[in-house]
Amino acid sequence: MSASLQKGLNAFREVMDAPIASFFSSCVHCGMCADACLFYTETGDPKYTPIHKLEPLRRVWQQEYTLTGRLGRMLGLSQPVSDDELAAWSELVYDSCTLCGRCSMVCPVGNDITYMVRKMREGMSAAGHAPEGIIGATKRTIELGSPMGVKLQALQAQIRGQEAETGLTIPVDVQGADYMALLSSMEIINFPEYLGALARIFHQAGVSWTLSSEAFEATNSGIQIGASDIAREIVARIVTAAEKLQVKNVISPECGHAFTALRWEGPNLIGRPYKFNVIHILELLDELRSSGRLKTSGKEDAALTFHDPCQIVRRGGVVQQPRVLLGAVASDFREMPDHGVMNWCCGGGGGVSANERAEHLRLTSFKRKKSQLDELGVQTMVTACANCRIVLEEGLEHYNMNVKVVGLTELVAEHLVEQESAK
Amino acid sequence: MSDMDLLLWARGPGLGMAVAIFLFGMTLRLFEIYSLGRKRDLSTPRSNSPGSGWRTIYARSLPHADTWRRSALTIIAGFVFHIGLFIVLLFLLPHIELIRALTGLSWPALPTPLIDLVTVITLISLIVILVHRLMDPVKRFLSGFGDYLVWTVTFLPLLTGYMAYHHLLLDYTLLLALHILSAELLLVVFPFTKLTHTFTLFIARWYNGDIAARKGVAS
């Protein structure tokens, strides 16, 4: 598809709705969203004020969806949005926004700014102003089936490795299983122990599960770049595979944006509800724990904290489950100063970590997480998103910080009560 | 035109026109918002309580702890100015008389010296807000003509009202006429500036709360 200004503006018109009109009508330029955004707090540059990132979209709304704006444009009092303007906004919309949603929690008039940035990206990508890094990831997803170019053979190799590690069989393409598990590319490449952890937990809890050889990856760069047609194709693969295997539930991997894509955007992208439920792995683990199917023993003694992945917690509603799970396996769990739905982003969500152009800004904004950690003084940080994990590890290394990052699912698996009879 | 003629015009045809423009404009603005509609969300909500939007409407009035720390001046000056403005607008005896003449509704007034004190506090908070807007890098960066216009049309009715009550500088009749005219100016620009937030913030907060609640988050 060739990109053009016209296509971009049409996409802006396409996404314009009553919530957006009410948000733009309500902004009083108080600037409080800037104080909620780590890209502003860590740089002090006012251009990173969240509401300012939407200026071209606001101008289209004002000029085309309000009487005074239309009059003003007819009288030549305002200039239409230009291609140069969109090009200038690319950095603001993609590099300096992780869609973390913190500004949407703070805005005193109630503007869901993140909702608008997500929608604005539809127009930006249609106009050809998405960054190269995310375009590349998206292209690989379409051509190879994975943003990082992970193929089935790579997964199969990791399956064999984890089967050897755990002594358990990892089921693939099992018809009629209760649960179909998905992975993120990061997990397949960097953290295959997640797969082993699933195998051990599900073995102990007696969960009927499977992977699909046709759709094993949930990462959706289509929603990050803002291309609904591509996002739809990626979700549709999962839906087709799950409905073919007739599974009752699909488990979202820890990865936050995968969860948002699958759980909240997916049915809207394909235009119908699913024939299965989507459950986040942490929700499932907590369910298994509370029903007594998942038993843990022993606790970590070291002081540790939890980094809330934005899309799972603030934008996903899985807030208490990680805390309950951590309580079961750690004796000294400490919350960061701002935690839960008010946590600060790792700085790499929403496609930022795939966007090389944004690297310097991302590492600068990591100072927010750094000061949260410095204040707390713990040396272990648990999280539940493979992308957060990579971004956190890079940031910690950049600032020479002695903090270890651990995946929550793996941590739970380490504390499973081993059942001899099950072997 | 004498001062009295001006006052009579302001109290009669002027007021009628200003109220008409205000009502037409706000109806239009609300129509412009709601006529856009929104797509039905096909994802399965965690909670579909219609109360969630309403909850955010009032809950959003109180900032989180971290927001207090980072935006203290904006929050405090904002609270003082808004509360002061509403007290003066709704509890000064002549204002209640006007509302009763227009709508038939009335309620007890607050003592005028108290309103006078609140007016001074509100005027000071507005000056603080203006200076903050001019000095703070983010606010200055975001501000344009509309922001300063809105500040001016909000400040003038308070200032002229205060001057009229204390018979400052100008003749009382003229000051009263100017006070009414400044309030009419506020009504006329209201629907076409960010003053619309007075009404639309309830819509915005409702959508925000509704969108978050579907995902199981109280925003």
Show me where the domains of chain B are located. Answer: 3-33+44-214
Residue type for position A112: D
Q: How far is A11 from chain B (nearest CA, A)?
A: 15
Instruction: For residue B197, list chain A residues with Cβ-Cβ distance below 8 A.
Output: 25-28, 109
- Domain A134-291: which CATH number of 1.10.8, 3.30.1400, 3.40.50, 2.40.128: 3.40.50
**Confidence at residue A200, expressed as pLDDT on a 0 to 100 scale:** 92
Buried b (16+ CB within 10 A) or exposed e, A383-397: bbbbbbbbbbbbbbe
Q: What's the rounded Cα separation, in Å, for the pair A167 and A418? A: 13
Tens digit of each residue's pLDDT (9 = 90 or more) over A371-403: 999 999 999 999 999 899 999 999 999 999 999
The segment(s) of chain A belonging to CATH 3.40.50 are 134-291
Report which of A361, A339, A330, A338 is spatially closest to residue A348, judged by C-alpha positions. Answer: A361
Q: Are A258 and A387 in contact (CB under 8 A)?
A: no
Q: What's the rounded Cα separation, in Å, for the pair A410 and A407? A: 5
Q: How far is B186 from chain A (nearest CA, A)?
A: 16
Among all residues of chain B, which has the CA nearest to that of A21?
B33
Q: Do B36 and A18 touch (CB under 8 A)?
A: yes
Q: What value does the CA radius of gyration of chain A take, rounded to a whole number of Å?
A: 22
Look at the alpha carbons of A409, A410, A415, A421 in this order and tell me if their dihedral is positive or negative: positive
Q: What's the rounded Cα separation, in Å, for the pair A315 and A88? A: 28
Report which of B32, B135, B204, B31 is spatially closest to residue A109, judged by C-alpha positions. Answer: B204
Q: What's the rounded Cα separation, in Å, for the pair A304 and B21? A: 61
**Confidence at residue A283, expressed as pLDDT on a 0 to 100 scale:** 95
Among all residues of chain B, which has the CA nearest to that of A71?
B192
CA distances from A97 to A14, A53, A335, B136 (A): 22, 9, 25, 22
Tens digit of each residue's pLDDT (9 = 90 or more) over A22-74: 999 999 999 999 999 999 999 999 999 999 999 999 999 999 999 999 999 99
Q: Read off the tokens for B70.
A: 């980072």
DSSP assignment letter at A340: G
Task: Write down the CATH number for the domain with range B3-33+44-214.
Answer: 1.20.950.20
Instruction: For residue B207, list chain A residues with Cβ-Cβ distance below 8 A.
Output: 18-19, 22-23, 110, 112
B217: contact with A, CB 8 A cutoff = yes
Residue-wise DSSP of B133-164: HHHSHHHHHH--HHHHHHHHHHHHHHHHHHHH
Read off the pLDDT of each residue in B121-136 and give the average, rounded to a whole number.
97
A420 pLDDT tier (thresholds 50, 70, 90): very low
CA contacts within 13 A on the Cβ side of A261: 35
- Phi first, then psi: what are they for B45, rounded to 5°? -75, 150
Instruction: For residue A65, list chain B residues with Cβ-Cβ distance below 8 A.
Output: 32, 36
Tell me the percentage of chain A whose pLDDT exceeds 70. 98
Residue type for position A260: T
Among all residues of chain B, which has the CA nearest to that of A32?
B71
Q: What's the rounded Cα separation, in Å, for the pair A102 and A126? A: 26
Instruction: For residue A20, list chain B residues with Cβ-Cβ distance below 8 A.
Output: 36
**Confidence at residue A135, expressed as pLDDT on a 0 to 100 scale:** 84
Q: What's the rounded Cα separation, in Å, for the pair A15 and B58? A: 28
Strand ranges across the sheet with A249-252: A209-210, A179-181, A249-252, A277-280
Q: What value does the CA radius of gyration of chain B take, rounded to a whole number of Å?
A: 20
Tens digit of each residue's pLDDT (9 = 90 or more) over A274-289: 999 999 999 999 999 9
Tens digit of each residue's pLDDT (9 = 90 or more) over B31-54: 999 999 999 999 999 876 667 888
Q: How far is B109 from chain A (nearest CA, A)?
A: 29
Q: Read off the tokens for B212.
A: 């978050």
Report which of B116, B129, B118, B120 is spatially closest to residue B78, judged by C-alpha positions. Answer: B129
Q: What's the rounded Cα separation, in Å, for the pair A369 and A355? A: 20
Of A34, A115, A337, the CB nearest to B138: A34
Instruction: Indicate whether A239 pLDDT > 50.
Output: yes
Tens digit of each residue's pLDDT (9 = 90 or more) over A190-228: 888 899 999 999 999 999 999 999 999 998 888 999 999
Q: What's the rounded Cα separation, in Å, for the pair A155 and B19? A: 69
| A306 DSSP β-pair partners | A382
Residue-wise DSSP of A167-229: S----BS-TT-SEEE-B-HHHHHT-THHHHHHHHHHHHHT--EEB-SS--B---HHHHHT-HH
B74: contact with A, CB 8 A cutoff = yes
Among all residues of chain A, which has the CA nearest to that of B38?
A17
Q: What's the rounded Cα separation, in Å, for the pair B115 and B104? A: 23
Angle at Cα A268 formed by Cα A221 and Cα A351, nearest 5°? 15
Mean residue pLDDT across chain A: 92
Q: Do A104 and B208 touch (CB under 8 A)?
A: yes
Strand ranges across the sheet with A380-383: A304-307, A380-383, A404-407
Instruction: For residue B73, list chain A residues with Cβ-Cβ distance below 8 A.
Output: none
Least confident stretch, A141-150, A372-381, B94-103: A141-150
Fold for the domain defined by A5-130: Fumarate Reductase Iron-sulfur Protein; Chain B, domain 2 (1.10.1060)
The segment(s) of chain A belonging to CATH 1.10.1060 are 5-130
Instruction: For residue A25, list chain B residues with Cβ-Cβ distance below 8 A.
Output: 29, 33, 196-197, 200, 203-204
Q: What's the rounded Cα separation, in Å, for the pair A234 and A240? A: 10
Say how many C-beta atoms besides its own lie within 10 A of residue B123's C-beta: 18
Which residue, chain included where needed, has tokens 């029903």?
Answer: A291
The ipTM of this complex is: 0.94
B135: contact with A, CB 8 A cutoff = no
Q: Do A17 and B196 touch (CB under 8 A)?
A: no
A422 pLDDT tier (thresholds 50, 70, 90): very low
Q: What's the rounded Cα separation, in Å, for the pair A87 and A95? A: 13
Among all residues of chain B, which has the CA nearest to that of A68?
B192
Helix (H) or strand (E) segment spanning residue B52? helix B51-59
Q: A29, A248, A249: best mutation site toward chain B, by most B Cβ within 10 Å? A: A29
